[in-house]
Structure 1
């Protein structure tokens, strides 16, 4: 199913109401896995609830396969929804939880429980049907919530931070399982996440939201390699964000100088990913070291830039107060004009 989000706007709260989403538009193709990425408060979960029909927007439209569903009640939109807090029914067994959407659609008891058992096998919980949900681990409960969302064969699957309560090992397992089920069931899937690496690993395309607006929409490698704003560039793993100025195509912050070709002159922000910087004793200028910390397989040198800090990996420890040079790989260095952030240089 193709999902179209067109000009969605909503204000929430009172005195005064806050604009949570402002003219948000994008499309998700049939069977596509699309992520809504952004920091907390960007409007991601609100948008997901509008798609599901749980919230009603103030402006704009939601369409499934070209047909507007704005006046269609949530329970009639044929969407599967996995909430961040899972919202399993504690008074029901595992299989009763999974069978519940089928019950709401009038499916016979024997058929809906057969469907529940099939889905529990899909999420690797075969034989768990008679258990109480309170007896399950967090990862197992998440699988039950996923099976329940799939029970009524939805046109679109909506996932709201589905892995946020799991430890890293379980997160990896659940990511693989969700992708497997997405492909097997052939659904259009929309996932809310604040984890940029998770979005890159799982998505066909990514919508980046900030302040209720779409900042960038495209393929994962487009957002990673050609980030439209400093916020987007900084969300992909460890980096340093440095304030400075651009003049004649050069970004400067104290003794630090970086190429900023195409960036408008004036106040600017540089985002330097740790993967794009390395300690190089023979590379002038030399920068004073604030401190050096051990990171397991490497060390992290924190360099002083007249009050700002630049973090640079090093294969060996460096003494506090030492002077070091830094080599940069331009593919991981981004410079943005302070106004708007659309003019980025390398």
Structure 2
């Protein structure tokens, strides 16, 4: 014989509120029957007991990936950043090629020019947005005939980039000089030095999200080209390799509207100010000062360093977090009047991608398989 109870008792049996009880009804988890008066609700006590037992069952944990990743490529903590146990501040004056050699454990690395097609940025239309600079690099990697060795593959991609961007193909020039020529005619030495420092300090940053994407691809034995594409696609995110683009635009807004007005608007709209805060460097991002020091030496005919300095000074009244390397990189592209989407971050990080790809090959394959239930 079926036993029925009214709504308050049904809710008590389940240990929920009456509102939750009726949400169960609407979702079909429990059946509601009208009483003889046509208004009251009745519930089958046996059905309530079954639902109560079901709710008591332990729920399986959410899907997870639990992998320990040991890497000797880069070490970082609150005290600083080291490539192969060498402090990055000892590397900033070295050519980028030499830092690649350190990361790859290959002396005398040459990033020789590679003939390739020029990158022609797509024009925006009403129907199709312009492709991002990161995706242009993806297309370049896909177009090249790359070897299976990750270091040779990365060297070939890096050698092709200045040519593809319209830089110099003169093999007697250093890499930074060939790359700088893609954006600046007859650059001053300070300009080339700033580009080189940018490439050095951004060459790797341990297990960043894009680097993890490269290692996941390597773990299933994807080709170096496919792994680089995975990393570049991840770098395209606004919260990763594209963060400095937003800094560049922030600085431009500060010049037009005033620093305090722009910061006030961000605070009023509860928007994060790009270029500040870091999950690892809670007190100080060591890359920030190294790069901003080079930015401060740049020719500045448009008086843009003043805006950078004012933002850095005034931000302390609005933001509790210290500046990070994205602020320095955005300042560099802003002062040099480069395109906001200039892919310096991605070009630099290709060096680290190759080192992590090669290191991952020594690990158990397919170790990033997640658990699902």
> Shorter-normalised TM-score: what interval?
under 0.3
Return the structure number with greater strand share. Answer: 1
Higher relative contact order (CA 8 A, sep 6+): 2
Q: TM-score, normalised by structure 2?
A: 0.26
- Name which one, 1 or 2, has greater alpha-carbon Rg: 2
Q: TM-score, normalised by structure 1?
A: 0.27
